[in-house]
Amino acid sequence: MHYSLKTVFLFFLSCIVLIFNYGLITAASNVGLNYGLLGDNLPSPSNVINLYKSIGITKVRIFDPNTEVLNALRGHQDIQVTVGVRDEDLALLAASEEAVEGWFTTNIEPYLADVNISFITVGNEVIPGPIGPQVLPVMTSLTNLVKSRNLPISISTVVSMANLGQSYPPSAGTFTSQAREQLTPVLKFLSEKSVPILVNMYPYFPYATDPVNIHLDYAISKNEAVVVQDGPLGYSNMFDAMFDTFVWAMEKEGVKDLPIVVSETGWPSAGNGDATTPDIAATYNGNFVKHVVSGKGTPKRPNSGVEGFLFATFNENQKPPGTEQNFGLYNPVDMQPIYKLF
C-alpha cells in the first residue's frame, strides 16, 4: 500500500501530539490540586470541576465540607476528594462522639453515594498549638465511625514544618517539645492504622527568609549536583531535604515507615520581586510534578515515591496581600493559566 510523504508526516505528527498530551494527563493524574475558596472572583465549582477534568486532575483537596463544591463533584467518582474539618469545629467535636457523628451525618454522609471522598483531615496546621490536643480525639472518633460503616475513608491531619525544632542537616531533624507532646501520639496512631500523615512543605519560605545562603536553583529543584552532603545521603534540592528531615524526626520518636503525603507545596508567581516570577513558579511546580510522576523517592526513602498536592488552583484575593495571593496556577477571572504546567 502506498502512502504519500505528507500522509506519513501527518501520522507521525499526530502520534507525537498524542504522546505529549498523554504525558500531560498522566502528570496531572498523579498530582493533586488544593482548591481554596478565599476569593470573591472565583469561578463556579462546576466550572472548576470541568477544568480539573480537562487537565486530568484526579485528586482534589478542599479545606472544609463546602456544599457547593461537594455537589459539583457528584458523579465525578474518578476524582478522589480530601475533605478538611474546620479548625473552629474541633473543640465541639473533641467533646463527644455524638458530635462527631452529627458532623459526619451532615457534612459527609449526603455525598457518599456519588462523591469519592478518600480522606478526611482533622485540622489544618493546628499542631503544635493551643487546639492541637483536640486533633487526636476527633481523629479517633472519625476512624471508629468509618470503620463501623466499612467506608474506605482514611482519617488523618495536616501539619506544617513548624513542628521541627532542628532541621539541618536532615539527619539532625527533631521535633519541638510541644510537637513531641501533641504530634507524636498522632503519628503513632496513624502508624497503627497504616494511614499517612499529611505535611505542608514549602521550600519557598526558607529561601525567601535567607536568599543569600540558600541558592535559588537548590530551592526550586533545578540543581542536579549535590549541595548538602549528610553522611551517605546527598541532596541536590531543598524539597527532598525537607521531606527527609521530617522522616528523621519521626524516626527519633519511634515512628518508622509511616507514609507522608505532601498536602501542600508550591511557589508564588508574584509578590516578592525577582524571587517570585511566573517562570520561577513554573520551574518549581513543574519539577515537583516530575518528581511525583517519576515514582522516585528521596535519598532516605529512595524506594517510596512522593505523593502530593500543589497549592493552589487559583490566586485568592481574600488572602493576605503579597505572595499569599499569588500561589495559584490559574487566574480566577478567566480561568487561564498564569503559566503553563498541565
Q: Which residues are catalytic?
A: 125, 264
Q: At what angle do helices 5-30 and 278-294 cross, to 10 degrees?
A: 90
Rounded to an integer, what distance in angstroms lies between the CA atom of residue 21 and that of residue 342? Answer: 9
N-terminal to C-terminal alpha carbon distance within the chain = 39
| Cα→Cα distances 312→149, 163, 265, Å | 33, 23, 8
Q: How many CA atoms lie within 13 A of 317 on its CB side?
A: 8
DSSP states of 162-203: GGEEE-SSGGG-EE-HHHHHHHHHHHHHHHHHT-PEEEE--T
226 three-class SS:
coil
Q: 282 and 3 in contact (C-beta within 8 Å)?
A: no
